[in-house]
Amino acid sequence: MMFARLSRLSRLSRLPGGPARSALRAGAIVAALALAACASPSSRFYTLGGVSAAGASAGASSVRTAAAPAWLIEVAPIDVPPQVAKTQLVVQTGPTQVKVLEEERWASLPGDELRRALSTSLTQQLNTIDVYGTAYSDATPVYRVSVNVQRFESWPGSHALIDAVWSVRAVRSTAVMTCRSVVSEQVGSGYDSLVDGHRRALQRVSEQVAVALQAMAAAGPFSSASQGGKAAARVGVPACPSLDAGVAVR
């Protein structure tokens, strides 16, 4: 009797709709669903870096050896608000609410992205060298650029905003120019457009900083000894350049 029952179960397992085959098929489906649930979605990474129009026109394979510039710049690390100082993109969902996007991330911390992009833009615009963290000659004038980002707001489908207080200071001098740039760039839908909006906003800021650097360099040395002290040095500092008409200021 037992042998007959086992034989019957064996025959049923070989049938297309047999209980054993159905159980195996159901187990495979459950296992596949469990693996799908455990798999985390892939992250996308964004950067503010990019080749400027001048750099792109030279061609990717071109090699250029520049002569020693008349003056140098030193772009210091950039401070950003603590709430956005993370690799995840932080977007505004309202005036007092933000959302942290786990799958949308910066390639490096926002402060590092901003410093690298600003340094690249300024050196290309001014045909100079950023010597931050590098030894340089005391005989060459150096202008230090410091930036404190007060607001770094990302509004998907609306705008990207950078509100920054920045300064240009002649190293080994008391001469300093402190200015503020508030730039808002309209963006479309999607995070690529949002990041591109921040890239364009930073480019506008860098253009204003570049004008300030040129004005400081054109004004000549600001040595306390040669200018007769701090008061004389302050008189020679140029005024902050204005944003051009194409920039939305709030």
Reported as a single tens digit per residue, the pLDDT across 66-107 is 678 999 999 999 999 999 999 999 999 999 999 999 999 999
Q: If you classify domain 70-235 with CATH, what class do you get?
A: alpha beta
Angle of helix 191-218 relative to helix 110-126, nearest 10 degrees, comes to 50
Q: What is the number of other CB atoms lying within 10 angstroms of the CB of residue 212?
A: 23
Q: Specify whether the CB–CB gap between 136 and 185 falls below 8 A.
A: no
Q: Count CA within 13 A, CB hemisphere, residue 47.
A: 10
Using DSSP, state whether 195 is helix, strand or coil: helix
Strand partners, 91: 99
In sequence order, what DSSP letters do the residues of 121-190 get, joined into one string? HHHHHHT--B-TTS---TTS-EEEEEEEEEEEEEETTTEEEEEEEEEEEETTSS-EEEEEEEEEEE--SS
CA 235 to chain centre: 36
Positions in the chain whose pLDDT score sits under 50: 2-3, 5-6, 9, 12, 36-37, 51, 53-60, 224-235, 245-250
Reported as a single tens digit per residue, the pLDDT across 25-34 is 656 565 555 5
Q: Specify whether the CB–CB gap between 156 and 93 falls below 8 A.
A: no
Using DSSP, state whether 88 is helix, strand or coil: strand
pLDDT given for residue 149 in this prediction: 98
Q: Specify whether the CB–CB gap between 237 and 176 falls below 8 A.
A: yes
Strand partners, 94: 97
Amino acid identity, position 72: L
pLDDT given for residue 49 in this prediction: 84
pLDDT given for residue 245 in this prediction: 37
Q: Give dist(CA 181, CA 199) in Å, integer.
A: 14
pLDDT given for residue 197 in this prediction: 98
Angle of helix 19-38 relative to helix 2-14, nearest 10 degrees, comes to 50
Q: Where are the beta strands (DSSP E) in the chain?
A: 44-46, 72-75, 88-94, 97-106, 142-155, 159-170, 176-186
Q: Give dist(CA 185, CA 232) in Å, integer.
A: 39
Domain ranges of the chain: 70-235
